[in-house]
Amino acid sequence: MSGAALPKLALGFVAAAIVALYAHAIFYTPIAYGDQFQEIHRTFTWSLSQYLSSYMAGQGPLFRPGEIVLRYVILYGFGGDPFAYNYFQILYLALTAIMALSLVPCRNWADAGAAITALAFLFGHHAYVAVMEANITFSNGLVLLLMLVVLHVLQAKGSLTTQILAIALSLAAVLTKEVGLIVPVALASGALLGFPGVRRSTAILLVALILAYVGYRLATLPPFEGEMGASTPHTFAERLSNMIAAPVMIVTGDPFDGEWSQFLSRHLYPWRIIRIALGLATIIVILAAYLLRKRAAEAFPDQELVDGKWMLLLLIVGAASSAIAFQYTRHRFGAMVLPVAFLLLDRSLRILIWRLSRIDVAAWARVAAVSLLFAFSLGWATRAADGFVVLRNIGAKIMIDWIEHWQEYRAYEGRDPGTLPYLDASFWAAEEMPWPTVRDDWPFVKFWLGDEDVMNR
C-alpha cells in the first residue's frame, strides 16, 4: 500500500462514518405535517404540467418551479411512499461527501487531518444541519450541493462544456429557490476575480440572468402586508438589521432568527459557547493562512493557496446570502457559504500545519500551537456529533406531533377526502418507526450537544 493510500483510506472512512451517522438519524425522521403535505398530495394526484400551470397562474410571493419538478423526481423516483424524502436525503448526504472529497487533496497524513477537520466543519455546521429538514434539503440543500460543483467549475480550464455547465447550474439554482441566485453571483464574480473556469462572455450572460431574475421578482413581488412571523421587518432599519445578522449567524449561530435582543438573554449552554468559539476560530484560521500566503507559496502551488481572490469570493458569497435575508433570516440561509469556507478551511489548515513543522520556535510554543489545532479539530468533531443529536430530536418531535394531532389533521384534510389515504399512510409510517429514545440521553448530551436553535427551527 502506497504512502498516500492509508491517509486517503482514513479520510474516506471518516466521511462514510459521518454519512452513516446522519443517515441513521434521517431514518428516524418521518415527513412532518405542514404546508408541504398539500404539495406532496398534489404531486401524487396532478400531472406535472397541470401542477406547473396552476402554480404559475396563482403565483404568490414565491417563484420556485424547480422545487415542483424536484418533488416529482423525488417522490416518483424513490418509490412514491412516505419514505421517499428519507431516501433522497441519504443520497444527498452521500453526494455532499463525494463532492467535498473531490475538492481536497490527500497526499499525506497532514492533508488527511486537515480534510477530516474540514469535513467535520461542513457537516457539523449549524447551517448544514438546518438544511436536513425534508423540504429544505431539495431547495437550500440543493443549492449548497450546486455550490460545491461551482467550485470545480471556477477552477476548471474554461472549456465550452464548462461554460454550458455554468449556465445550467445557474438556471437550475434560480428556478429552485431565491437563494439559488447565489450560484450565478458566485460564477460571475469568479470570472471577474480571475478564476479560469468562467469566460468573460459567459459571465456577461450570467449577469444578464441575474438582472432579469431580480427585475422579474421585483415586478411580480406583492407588497409584504401583515405579520409573517414574530421578527418580520417592516422598515428599512429592520431589514438592514436582518442583513447584518445573517453573516453573524453564519459564523456564530447567533442572534437566533436575527433577534439581537436574545443574544445575552438566552442561556449560554456549552453547545452554544462551542458553536460561537469555533465559528470565530475558523475565521482566525483562514485569515492566518491568508497572511501566510507568500511564504506558503514556497511549498504549495498557486491553486492551493488562500489568496486574495478566494477571500473576496468568500466575502461576495457571504454578502449575497445576507442580501437575500432582508425579509427574514434563518440558519439555513448560511448554507451556501459553507462550500467556499470548507475549501478555504482545508487549505488553511494544511498551510498552518506546514508552517508549524518548519518554524523555529520554543518547544512549549510548538506544543501549544499543535494543542490549539487539535482542540479546534476536536471541537468540530463534537459539532458533527451535535448534528446527529439534533436530527434525532427533530425526528422525535415530528413523531410526537403526528401522534398528538393526527385526528386534528384528519378533520382538517377531510374537506378533500382524497388526501386522507396519504395522510393516514404518513401517520402509520411515523407510528411504525422505531422511536429515538432522546429522553434517555445522558444530561451531558443536552448541555454539550443538541443545538436547540436548530431543533426549534
Whole-prediction pTM value?
Answer: 0.89
Structure confidence at residue 2 (pLDDT): 59
> Tell me, what amino acid is at 103?
L
Structure confidence at residue 228 (pLDDT): 45
Cα of first residue to Cα of last residue in the chain, in angstroms, is 47
List, for the chain, all residue ranges whose pLDDT scores fall below the cut of 70: 1-3, 35-36, 58-61, 82, 221-234, 414-418, 429-457
Structure confidence at residue 59 (pLDDT): 59
Structure confidence at residue 224 (pLDDT): 54
Structure confidence at residue 187 (pLDDT): 97
Structure confidence at residue 15 (pLDDT): 96
CA distance 177 to 267: 34
pLDDT digits (tens, 9 = 90+) for 157-202: 989 999 999 999 999 999 998 899 999 999 999 999 999 999 999 9
Buried b (16+ CB within 10 A) or exposed e, 188-216: bbbbbbebebbbeebbebbbebbeebeee
CA atoms within 13 A on the CB side of 220: 14
Structure confidence at residue 410 (pLDDT): 74
For residues 336, 19, 454, 72, the Cα torsion angle rounded to the nearest 10 degrees is 70
